[in-house]
Amino acid sequence: MSALWTSAELREATGGILDGELVVSGISIDTRSLEPGDLFIALVGENSDGHAHIATALDKGAACVMVHDSEAGNDPRLLHVADTLTGLQALGHAARARFTGKMVGVTGSVGKTTTKNMLHCAFSALGPTHAAIASYNNHWGVPLTLARMPRETAYCVAEIGMNHRGEIAPLAAMVRPDVAVVTTIGSAHLGYMGSIEAIAEEKSDLIAALPEGGVAVVPDDTGVDSIFERAAAHSSARLSRVGLSDRADYRLTDLAISADGSRFDFDGQRVTLNAPGAHLARNAALALATLRAFDLPIDKAIAALAAWRPGAGRGEIQPILNGTASLLDESYNASVLSIRAALQTLALVPATRRIAVLGDIRELGEFADSEHLSLVPDLMAHADLVFCCCPHMRHVFDALAEEKRGVWQADAASLAPIVQSHLKAGDVVLVKGSLGSRMRDIVAPLLAGGAKA
């Protein structure tokens, strides 16, 4: 069992009281996935309190449990702190302080997790790499990622998200990136932030956190260059622009996109992605530009990225209807930009019919109607048939030409059997919507074989 944290390190990092002498090999915040040897942190959430699961954690082999409830008991394996979330964050700071490798912070309106996964793939070709799992990018996900970082890590990729002003700066201060990556600037969280410029200002706080001489890897087409330039000047960092234009420091040239994937030239080398979508090619270019920001070779990373595939809910293509049709699963989350990109990918996939199943985009506030309706031209261009659920997508559905309309329903669960009943051999169906729209309720029965050819 490798030592992630010792008793002495836990005490020093958190200022807590721990009577036992022990070693922890992992960190858990959920007893359902806890492994023997883990430190279980009893976090308190809106609907749960980890202190209710202390006994379960110890029974399952937790080496230590971090608690702040004075009624938790006096087991020598209990690490008593003033507050467990603060304790987790203290571990995150301590993990960053002892890390001597190269740190990357990733943010952006769209593509954070995909780009983070590509960076993990690329860096892993060069040495021991650690990255956030899933979309662990908030006030508990970021310190958890850092606290779980193995001692031998050479490269770490931290994903940093937000939906309100002022959330990125403290996370960036914890991560202290050597290179900051901004994937896109778009309308995600527009209802909370008020403008694209405000979103860009918030994202640029990651650039402002760079050390002197650090590098910010950004797209060449965001339209908010002045905001990035100010943030880079604040930290004495350098901007490295990536994209298709002549003003890009790293250009994608000879870009060819097909249903099988993408091919392009980057920094004098040919890159092949075996996953379709122009947005994925751009994400891969951001990842490669990050390696170049560290003056690292990219040949092994290019070979690794050729084997990379999108994850479930993030662009994975899977067979349905006994292999006679295909599902483009984009169900994890959505924004206007990501739906537009997914529809462009849908258009690449050979099909008898291309079907889009869309749920609402959340957190758009007063901009919700206009943002949703902006998708109508894209749907008309790239989909043969459209199914929608949730209130705002009703406006989109009503604005479509009659021959494009499938069915609208109030929620995903009600729409799922209707979509199943309409599918035929030769169809490719895209499913996408914000997490709160529960588009997995449509994906799950399709993958389970509920639709028949």
Instruction: Pick the last residue of a domain from 58, 87, 116.
Output: 87
Question: Do 118 and 211 have their domain in common?
Answer: yes
Do the beta carbons of residue 89 and residue 37 sit within 8 Å?
Answer: no
- Which amino acid makes up residue 163? N
**Domain harbouring 394, CATH code:** 3.90.190.20
Is 453 part of a structural domain of the chain?
Answer: no
Question: Do 442 and 416 have their domain in common?
Answer: yes
Question: Do 80 and 162 have their domain in common?
Answer: no
Per-residue tokens: 411: 């929620």
Question: Do 299 and 323 have their domain in common?
Answer: no
114 is in an annotated binding site: yes
Q: What is the pLDDT of residue 252?
A: 96
Question: Do 279 and 418 have their domain in common?
Answer: no
Question: Do 358 and 338 have their domain in common?
Answer: yes
Question: Do 267 and 180 have their domain in common?
Answer: yes
List residues bridging with 78 in a β-sheet.
Answer: 65
Instruction: Pick the last residue of a domain from 54, 87, 120.
Output: 87
Look up tokens 């109030």; give the residue: 410
The angle subtended at Cα 385 by Cα 383 and Cα 391, nearest 5°, is 100
Q: How far is CA 336 from the centre of its chain?
A: 16
110 is in an annotated binding site: yes
Mode of pairing for the β-strands spanning 253-258 and 261-266: antiparallel
Q: Count of domains in the chain?
A: 3
Is 222 part of a structural domain of the chain?
Answer: yes
What lies within 8 Å, CB to CB, of 178 at 6+ separation is: 102, 103, 104, 210, 211, 214, 215, 294
Q: How many CB atoms lie within 10 A of CB 29?
A: 21
Nearest Cα to Cα of residue 414 among 448, 434, 382, 437: 437
Give helix 336-348 / helix 278-293 axis angle, nearest 10°: 110
What lies within 8 Å, CB to CB, of 181 at 6+ separation is: 104, 105, 106, 107, 108, 115, 119, 216, 217, 218, 286, 290
Question: Do 368 and 267 have their domain in common?
Answer: no
Nearest Cα to Cα of residue 175 among 100, 105, 91: 105
109 is in an annotated binding site: yes
Q: What are phi and psi of 418, to 5 degrees?
A: -70, -45
428 is in an annotated binding site: no
Question: Do 284 and 361 have their domain in common?
Answer: no
Question: Do 23 and 118 have their domain in common?
Answer: no
- Which amino acid makes up residue 94? A
Instruction: Pick the last residue of a domain from 30, 54, 87.
Output: 87
431 is in an annotated binding site: no
pTM for this prediction: 0.92
Domain containing 25: what range? 5-87
Q: What's the chain look like in SS3?
A: CCCCEEHHHHHHHHCCECCCCCEECEEECCCCCCCCCEEEECCECCCCEHHHHHHHHHHCCCCEEEECCHHHCCCCCEEECCCHHHHHHHHHHHHHHHCCCEEEEEECCCCHHHHHHHHHHHHHCCCCEEECCCCCCCCCHHHHHHHCCCCCCCEEEEECCCCCCCCHHHHHHHHCCCEEEECCCCCCCHHHHCCHHHHHHHHCHHHHCCCCCCEEEEECCCCCHHHHHHHHHHHCCEEEEEECCCCCCEECEEEEEECCEEEEEECCEEEEECCCCHHHHHHHHHHHHHHHHCCCCCHHHHHHHCCCCCCCCCCEEEEECCCCEEEEEECCCCCHHHHHHHHHHHHHCCCCEEEEEECCCCCCHHHHHHHHHCCHHHHHHHCCEEEEECHHHHHHHHHCCHHHEEEEECCHHHHHHHHHHHCCCCEEEEEECCHHHCCHHHHHHHHCCCCCC
What lies within 8 Å, CB to CB, of 259 at 6+ separation is: 276, 348, 349, 350
**Domain harbouring 19, CATH code:** 3.40.1390.10
145 is in an annotated binding site: no
List residues bridging with 217 in a β-sheet.
Answer: 181, 240
- Which amino acid makes up residue 376? V
Is 452 part of a structural domain of the chain?
Answer: no
Is 311 part of a structural domain of the chain?
Answer: no
Q: What is the pLDDT of residue 115?
A: 96
Q: What is the mean pLDDT of each run of 10 residues along the chain (453 residues)?
A: 90 97 97 97 92 96 95 92 97 98 95 95 98 90 97 97 91 98 86 87 96 97 93 97 96 95 96 95 98 98 97 91 95 93 95 98 93 97 98 98 98 97 97 95 89 44
Is 94 part of a structural domain of the chain?
Answer: no
Question: Do 31 and 130 have their domain in common?
Answer: no
Question: Do 368 and 420 have their domain in common?
Answer: yes
Is 310 part of a structural domain of the chain?
Answer: no
What lies within 8 Å, CB to CB, of 354 at 6+ separation is: 346, 347, 382, 383, 384, 385, 427, 428, 430
Is 50 part of a structural domain of the chain?
Answer: yes
Q: What is the pLDDT of residue 10?
A: 98
**Domain harbouring 189, CATH code:** 3.40.1190.10
